Structure formats: structure tokens, C-alpha cells
A and B are shown apart, each in its own frame.
Chain A
């Protein structure tokens, strides 16, 4: 077999790349894990919950060992409309049986990389990949280090949403505004006790809040609040095309950028009690892939596999975001495809075999099942008319001024009549929502 520096070079030490390196190292392959930051996690940002079942299968002791923040036992969806909010809260003690956590990547990724190094991974920090080339008998990862070319049988591109591996190999098409959402996030230092009080939580319990409906009728704009051990994260996310449009329209007369929307959101009467206090610890920004199953970019070539965000494997379900676990699972499928190749030596089949494995995994099953959801979530009625109907109905039920109005269904019908949505819209959207969930 060809003489190479490593069997596999993994580019990027987020959860996807590190899971791949960990798995490869445990199977005895020579694996390098390349990272451009000084330490793991320094360039990484999340606004989500780790659905940890897949990590549990790889590292069963992770709930005890890994630096996790809070065990998520409560989810809230909140629809905003003017000064009002209607919310659905779900709290369930049985969620304690599931390994789902909030986490801070600075600490978590450091731990995970240390585990992969313990298994035999060679970790190369402060190294930025400039190019990847594929040859008849090898692939080469070209880095910005002196003599920094790393030859290998296969490359796993786990280098995030702006993947150099995907762009340099020409695997990935050029991303446009329609493909991406922008997110900005603030981490607030409010302290453990204050979090427990404000969110009605006990010790290590955590909650996730998802908001939509502000500003009214602006599709794809949403917000989140997550509880960490002693910190809160509060963020805004919106499709780049919607954000460009909001700026062009001069929304609110001045063209409100996303960070302006986040500031306004944090000042809403219904939100301020959760996030108040001058406690900003860090401001962050990141792009989030916004594909549906049908618009996912290509993710492999002969000796190259893209995993995690680099392959666009993120799903906004409307009520939660999936991505952290998709990254880990896709990294593991790439590792398995490489392990298979050590048996038959046919490394040219690495990329294709990874893709087949991923297609049959729960990640793409999940995205396929929700293939109509991203389109559904771009419907502006979801961000204006429907929250309005819900709130007008509830106002009719609970406002003392409308006691005599009588039956609730009448009030619901009236609220519906007063909104901009038509009957056909409601039926169509109801069908679409049913189909996509």
C-alpha cells in the first residue's frame, strides 16, 4: 500500500471531526486532527441542545465525564405578537432519562479532543488548511504550516459551515443567501441562583426557549434562550435573504440589522424579565446552514467526505434545532467508511461509501421526513397572522372586557376574520404543517 503520513486526516476539531478521529483511533488507524484555533472550541459556536444519544453510544461515560451545562427537561415555544405572547411549554421528568444537555463548546470540545488524543489521535492546532488535492493513490491536505503538506488515504472535512475542504475540492456548490441563516448571540453572566429563579429550575435542570413573531410578518426570524450552569445565552437567527430584504426595505425606517433585532427582542416586556441585568460576557456570530433534504449540497468525492455543518447537516424544526448530534453521527459514518477501506484497500470508494452510509442513517432519514419543513417555515403567515389569531382568541377568552362575547370558537372565528389570512391559506398551511412535522 502507498506510503502516506496518515491513514485519515480530519480537518476541524468540532464534535463531528473529533467523533470521527476518536472512532478511527480506537480502531487503530493513524489519524491526524487539524485545527486552526490555538485550542479546541475557540472558533466554535452553538445555539442548541446536544441530543446526546449518539454520543452516549460512542462514549457511554460522557454524562459523568464531559463538561456539560444543564440537563434539558423543559422546552418552550413562544409566539410573539405586539405586546402579547402565547406559549406552549413542555416539561417532563422523563426527559431526565435522555442524555440531552446544553453545553459550552470551549470546554466541551477541549474535553472531547483530549479523549480522542488519549485514543491515539495526533492533534495539530494552529493549523489552517489552504487546499486539498486528490491523486491516483493518495490525497494531500495543504496547510499554512512550513512543510505543512499532510498525505493520507482519505480526508474528512469537518471544517464547519464555511468549509475550506468543500470549496477547495469543488465538492460543494457556491453558497448563496438562500442557503444560509445568520445568528448572533449574547452570553450573559447572571449566576446559577438567578437562572434557577427566573426559569423555575432545580440544580442541574435546564430549559430551552424558542421565539418567533418579531418583527411581525418577517419570515425565518427567530430567537432563542438557553440556560447554562451560570450563564444564559440569548440569540437571534434569520435567513440572510430575509435580513437583506429587511435592510433594503429600511425596516422601521432605519433598516434594522440582526443585532438590532436582538437588542429589541431583549427589551420586549415578555422577554426582559428573563434576560435583564447588564451582564454581557461575550458577543458571537455564526452562519447556520438552512437546507432542506432536497437542497442539501454535495458532500463527497473519491477520497473526501464532508461531515457536520460542512455538509449542511442542520435542521431547524421550528420547535428545536438539530445539528450537534447530526455532526457526530455523520463523523462516525465517515469513520466507519474509512475502517471498511482498511479491509479492502479500495480508498477510491471512500467518499461514495460514506454517502451511502449517511443516506441510510437516522440523520438523513430525519431530514427526509421533514423535507417540506424549511419551506413551511418561510411562510410569513407563521410570523404574523397565525400568532395574531391565537392571541386575539385568548384575549377574547381572558380579557374582562369581552365577558359577554360567549363561545370561544366564535372569538377564534372573529380573530381569524380580522386577520390577513384567508380560509384557503389556513387549510393549505395546516396541511403543509401536518405533512412537514
Chain B
């Protein structure tokens, strides 16, 4: 089963404002791009026409925080700006 299929089971009340943003200029120098395989919701997609090759979508984020640790907190990366989603918005789990 693909992650996209798995995500079909998840509910969101999507905020109009992104709680996570990506500065693509910093993706240009990032060689290993761990976001492509570490984000469990595949919010990061490799697209050649994007600067640094990274397309980011905050909408399917399941709010685990991994990208804060492997990108935002890494002094050699830091493309991700991370915060918690606004009150009442974002992912809503039924079976935590």
C-alpha cells in the first residue's frame, strides 16, 4: 500500500496558513535530501522544475515534527521553518 493510499484514512481541518514552510534556496545545496524518504506523509516531493528540486505541501502533514529535527535543526540544512498548526486546525486522529 502506498503512503498516498494510507493517507486516505486520515482527516484534516486544513488551515489557510501553512504552519511549515520551505526555503527552496537552501534545498539547492542539500545533497542527500533526507526529506524525500524521512517525512512519513511524503509532504516533500522531488520535482525537477522546482528550485532545489523540492516541492513541499503542508496540507497532508500529520504533524510528527521529523522535518524540524532532520532539516530545520540541522545547521547545514535549515530549509524548513517549523511551527505547530494553528488552534483547532490540522490533522485530526480518531484512533490515536
Contact = CB atoms under 8 A, between A and B. Distances in A.
Interface of A: 36-38, 41-46, 104-106, 109, 125-129, 143-145, 161-162, 164, 174-177, 179-180, 182, 184, 186-187, 231, 233, 240, 243-244, 247-248, 255-259, 263, 280-287
Nearest to A128: B87
A255 B36 CA distance: 10
B40 to A, nearest CB: 4
Given A244-B34, A281-B9, A37 B96 contact: no
Contacts of A126: 87-88
B94 A282 contact: yes
A145 B34 CA distance: 35
Contacts of A259: 3, 6, 40
Interface centre among B41, B68, B84 (most CB of A within 10 A): B84
Nearest to A161: B65
B10 interface: yes
Given A37-B88, A106-B95, 5 more contacts: A177-B70, A233-B95, A247-B37, A247-B38, A257-B38
Interface centre among B68, B73, B84, B87 (most CB of A within 10 A): B87
A354 B29 CA distance: 44
Contacts of B26: none
Given A105-B96, A244-B38, A285-B40, A127 B87 contact: yes
A176 B74 contact: yes
Interface in B26-53: 32, 34, 36-38, 40-41
Contacts of A281: 9, 94-95
Given A182-B64, A282-B94, A285-B40, A38 B69 contact: no
Given A282-B9, A285-B62, A187 B40 contact: no
Interface of B: 1, 3, 6-7, 9-10, 13, 32, 34, 36-38, 40-41, 62-66, 68-70, 73-74, 83-88, 90-96
Contacts of B6: 186, 259, 280, 283
Contacts of A284: 10, 62, 93, 95-96
Contacts, number: 137
A37 B41 CA distance: 19
A110 to B, nearest CB: 11
Contacts of A285: 40-41, 62, 64, 66
Interface centre among B38, B70, B96 (most CB of A within 10 A): B96
Given A43-B93, A126-B88, A240 B9 contact: no
B93 A44 contact: yes
Contacts of A36: 84-88
A182 B73 CA distance: 16
Contacts of A175: 68-69, 73
Given A37-B88, A244-B34, A44 B96 contact: yes
B83 to A, nearest CB: 8
B88 A280 contact: no
B61 to A, nearest CB: 10
Contact of B69 (A164, A240, A248, A258): A240
Contacts of A257: 37-38, 40
B84 to A, nearest CB: 5
Nearest to A127: B87
Contacts of A37: 88, 92
22 contacts: A36-B87, A38-B13, A42-B93, A44-B96, A45-B96, A104-B95, A104-B96, A125-B88, A128-B87, A162-B65, A162-B68, A182-B64, A184-B40, A186-B6, A231-B95, A257-B37, A259-B40, A283-B7, A283-B62, A284-B62, A285-B40, A287-B69
A38 B62 CA distance: 15
A174 to B, nearest CB: 5
Contacts of B70: 177, 240, 244
A240 B71 CA distance: 11
Given A106-B96, A174-B73, A164 B38 contact: no
Pairs A-B, 3 closest by C-beta atoms:
A126-B88, A285-B40, A283-B6
Contact of B64 (A106, A129, A243, A286): A286
B53 to A, nearest CB: 15
Contacts of A106: 93-96
Contacts of A46: 96
Nearest to A175: B69
A259 B64 CA distance: 14
Contacts of B41: 285
Given A184-B40, A283-B9, A43 B91 contact: yes
Contacts of B86: 36, 128, 144
A92 to B, nearest CB: 28
